[in-house]
Amino acid sequence: MRPNAPDTPDFYKRVWAIVARIPYGKVTTYGHIARALGATRSARLVGWALHAAAGTELPCHRVVNREGRLTGKQHFPTPTWMEERLRSEGIHFREPDQVDLEKHLWIPPSSP
DNA sequence: AACGTGACTGCCC
DNA sequence: CGGGCAGCCACGT
């Protein structure tokens, strides 16, 4: 399969499988998830996958952008839900909308 | 079927 | 070192 082609029909499922593995109290980024799937240039698709997963039990609040910003917070039940949830897991914020990636970044293992 | 949009990122200035 | 821009690709109109 082509290294940078997220053309498998279960691409979303692969994304969800990784999100489900993000440890409590940790966060990861769209880009790292894409990279773990061998689709480095498809970080945007990870966003779509999470959009499709809205309302499920997946801990999608643990996915932030590469700067640690909560770019997806608008997609949660309330505007503050994502931040509150992260704080409740002991995640430290550098700014109101930015988590401390240095402390809490989790890099997902590559997926076969 | 073409077109704009977006839970993104990496370069280039 | 912050901001702009192009590349990316599924989706809704």
- Count CB-CB contacts under 10 A for residue A24: 9
The per-residue pLDDT for A53 is: 95
Cα dihedral A106, A53, A84, A65 sign? positive
> What backbone torsions phi and psi does residue A59 show, to the nearest 5 degrees?
-80, 60
State pLDDT tens for residues A53-105.
999 999 999 999 999 999 999 999 999 999 999 999 999 999 889 999 999 99
**Residues 42-101, chain A, CB closer than 7 Å to nucleic strand C:** 42-45, 48, 52
**pLDDT at A4 > cutoff 80:** no
Q: Kindly name the residue from A45, A60, A63, A70 that is annotated as catalytic.
A: A60
- Dihedral sign for Cα A53, A54, A59, A61, please: positive
User: What proportion of chain A, given as a percentage, has pLDDT over 70?
Assistant: 89
Select from 1.10.20.60, 3.30.300.30, 1.10.10.10, 3.40.50.1220 the CATH code of A11-104.
1.10.10.10
| pLDDT given for residue A3 in this prediction | 44
